[in-house]
Chain A
Amino acid sequence: SQKIEQNSEALNIQEGKTATLTCNYTNYSPAYLQWYRQDPGRGPVFLLLIRENEKEKRKERLKVTFDTTLKQSLFHITASQPADSATYLCAFSGGYNKLIFGAGTRLAVHP
């Protein structure tokens, strides 16, 4: 079955450093991947979408890469700030009608 995996352990980094989160998938070749941010007790918020023919996508301090050979997407936050602390979810289209979400990786940025 289609499966998507993210690091289950929290990522702790110092303010100003670059945070890198990993998303791996198996048994599927998605046309695109999405990344969402979720704060505690709230719904996810869409951040970025990257298509299979795009190697890299940027939005302000965010960068996403998509390696279809490795079946992996990396999500980078440069110059991280404590306000970036949240859980980050990746998702891919599991067919026409639905998205398949990873469990998310919690990021904690310390001053």
Chain B
Amino acid sequence: DGGITQSPKYLFRKEGQNVTLSCEQNLNHDAMYWYRQDPGQGLRLIYYSQIVNDFQKGDIAEGYSVSREKKESFPLTVTSAQKNPTAFYLCASRAWDPDTQYFGPGTRLTVL
């Protein structure tokens, strides 16, 4: 199956811990994105990457970090500096013709 996978589906974190969310795609897309979704709000962009070994901050990057060492993989680390990390996290990759984004199933992070 082609697509985007995210793991884990549910993640629980204690205060002060860093956690890493996995995102893998086999669509051969260059661009990948991380979004955060909170109830009643639109998707907010955390980080994005246009090519391997390059990434840019989105609108709410504080408290998050990413890496893009391989085209297929774009992991997101939620650090202890993120004050309100409980949310639904979505990873996406982008096709260009037509311009669409393919989303993974999401990871729901809860801080205990």
Contacts and interface: CB of A to CB of B under 8 A. Distances in A.
How many B residues touch the partner, as a band?
A: 20 to 34
A42 interface: yes
Given A4-B42, A8-B40, A99 B106 contact: no
A53 interface: no
Interface string A70-111: 000000000000000000010001000111111110000000
A46 B48 CA distance: 19
Given A41-B108, A97-B48, A46 B102 contact: yes
Interface stretch (B63-71, B76-84, B93-101): B93-101
Contacts of B90: 43-44
A34 interface: yes
A2 B42 CA distance: 13
Interface of B: 4, 31, 33, 35, 40-43, 45, 48, 50, 56, 58, 88, 90, 92, 98-106, 108
11 contacts: A41-B106, A42-B105, A43-B4, A43-B105, A46-B100, A46-B101, A98-B33, A98-B45, A99-B101, A103-B41, A104-B42
